[in-house]
Amino acid sequence: MNVHVAVASMPPDSVAAVGHLVFEGLIPAGSGVELDRAICEQRSFAGKAGESLVEPEGDHLRLLVGVGAASDLSTGAVRRAAATFARAASNCQSACLDLAPVVTGASRAATVTQAAVEGIGGATYRFSRYRSTERPAALSSVVLTVAAADESAAVDGLARGVALADAVALARDLVNTPAADMTPSRMAEVAREVADRAGLGLTVLDEAAIRAERLGGLWGVARGSAEPPRLITLSYEPEGAGGATAPTVAIVGKGITFDSGGLSLKSGEGMMAMKDDMSGAAVVIAALGACRATGVQVRVIGIAPCTENMPSGTATKPGDVLTTRNGKTIEVLNTDAEGRLVLADGLALAAESAPDAIIDVATLTGACVVALGSEVAGVMGNDSRLVAAVQRAAERAGEPVWHLPLPQSYKKLYESNIADMKNIGRPGGPGALLAGLILEEFVGDRPWAHIDIAGPANTDEDAFDQRKGATGFGVRTVIELLSSYETIGAPADHAADGSVR
């Protein structure tokens, strides 16, 4: 994090600003805060989420921070309010935010403090590597105050919040870095740095090993680029006697470090943001790196197939057939539908380890953006228990998802005349669902959920804990899912007709 955050039961003697939470309707969260309603109305402060009011109070500033309706108070509301506070205090060197009024008990102290740290970390994130001049942020330290009885629990929440904020920042850094510098080889180097720091196992397959391991989908996409591909596998073993018998969860992330569309070339405008097509792989690396710090108690395998998708004389041509890791063949009719090709191999590898569950995260389809917009990810899968677990984790993490169906009758839409399947359906069809159904072909009977983050992986606006550019969406959801994981078992609960039991 760019800001040092601490917990205390009393504000420091010397602090530049003190923040107080205010509910919508100008209702102070704590009894000791008096409001001048006339001034609040004059300056359009009503306590709504995202609002703040700065005013002098003695030798420091008083920051009033809108939380929204008291009836809607949640960790998400706290996260947003803390982000609003950090933005309002950005010109102060030190600041204090009083959380005591919204903390009731030790468990609440931990979750509220964690959410506040996540909000502060997100709001103060900066990516300035490529700027010749950058004014340093003034805010360098924040103290969160809680009741003395809740301080110990709050410290635990602080540590978890810092780990999550750092993981999200790492994912944002990876995605924000231009494709010329964040190549598949560089992704592998970052994975090694993360593995060394977090005590993870790591294997990296180069182009020769990728071909030798029959990863035909990944190699088919990679062969048009001068940059060699990499298949990154990270592994996490929980500490303690139960680690060896703990369930295993596999996380697979799409790692297209630049997507030109291949020979099915995108437009110039369509390529502008395509350095972010490795957001899923960034989630995998960042989330695996935070498993130990957040106390994850399941075994985790993280797989990131990384490559560029470029046009050249050696590129896969429309009409070519690729043979994937599990032996299934795909007729490639559009080389810009490449994410499902690399994920096919990643998912097949994950299934070979017979995990309790498989999750994949990918900026997969524009169709999902059309359906759900830029703030909500689509989630689909072959197991109702796992999909529900992802939904619950996403809600707690403050990363909204929406369950989309996988109608088995739609499989006919990607039937091929010459191969097991083709990589697209007809124009104007259910693109996000077809992509999900194609991925399902590679998970066997393992419970599996697919999270399409094509919309929320990037943002054009500064808002709450988001900064323009990469969002790191998915990191908190994955870590929350792993932290609260309940064994699902196998096989997946799809009925024979494809409906979910």
Give the pLDDT confidence of 175-206 residue by residue, as tens digits.
Answer: 999 999 999 999 999 999 999 999 999 999 99
| Domains of the chain as residue ranges with CATH | 4-147 (3.40.220.10), 166-483 (3.40.630.10)
Note the pLDDT tens digit of each residue in 198-244: 999 999 999 999 999 999 999 999 999 999 999 999 999 998 756 67
Q: Which residues have a Cβ under 8 Å from the Cβ of 400 and sit 6 or more positions away?
A: 375, 376, 377, 394, 456
Q: Which residues have a Cβ under 8 Å from the Cβ of 194 and sit 6 or more positions away?
A: 170, 200, 234, 285, 286, 288, 289
Residue 355: left (phi > 0), alpha (psi -120 to 50), or beta?
beta
Catalytic residue positions?
266, 340
Note the pLDDT tens digit of each residue in 359-417: 999 999 999 999 999 999 999 999 999 999 999 999 999 999 999 999 999 999 999 99
CA 68 to chain centre: 25
Pairing label, strands 141-145, 4-8:
parallel
Is the predicted pLDDT of residue 317 greater than 90, yes or no? yes
Is the predicted pLDDT of residue 500 greater than 50, yes or no? no
Preceding amide of 427 cis, omega within 30: no
Note the pLDDT tens digit of each residue in 81-123: 999 999 999 999 999 999 999 998 778 999 999 999 999 999 9
pLDDT at 497: 40
pLDDT at 496: 38
pLDDT at 59: 87
Is the predicted pLDDT of residue 501 greater than 70, yes or no? no
Is the predicted pLDDT of residue 499 greater than 90, yes or no? no
Degrees to nearest 5, angle at CA 497 with 496 and 499: 100
> Within a 13 Å sphere around the CA of 201, how many CA atoms are in the beta-carbon half?
11
pLDDT above 90 covers what percent of the chain?
91
Residue 434: left (phi > 0), alpha (psi -120 to 50), or beta?
alpha
Mean pLDDT of 56-85: 95
Residue 188, both tokens:
């592998």
340/331 Cα distance (integer angstroms)? 12
Which of 55-59, 276-280, 291-295, 340-344 has the weakest average pLDDT?
Answer: 55-59
Mean pLDDT of 463-484: 97
Q: Which residues have a Cβ under 8 Å from the Cβ of 132 and sit 6 or more positions away?
A: none
Note the pLDDT tens digit of each residue in 8-48: 999 888 899 999 999 999 999 987 899 999 999 999 999 99
E-only strand ranges, 310-434: 320-323, 329-332, 357-362, 377-381, 401-403, 421-422
pLDDT at 498: 47
Query: Which residues are registered as beta bridge partners of 458?
Result: 470
180/200 Cα distance (integer angstroms)? 27
pLDDT at 242: 65
pLDDT at 241: 58
216/198 Cα distance (integer angstroms)? 31
Task: Give pTM, 2 decimals.
Answer: 0.96
Place of tokens 């180097």: 189
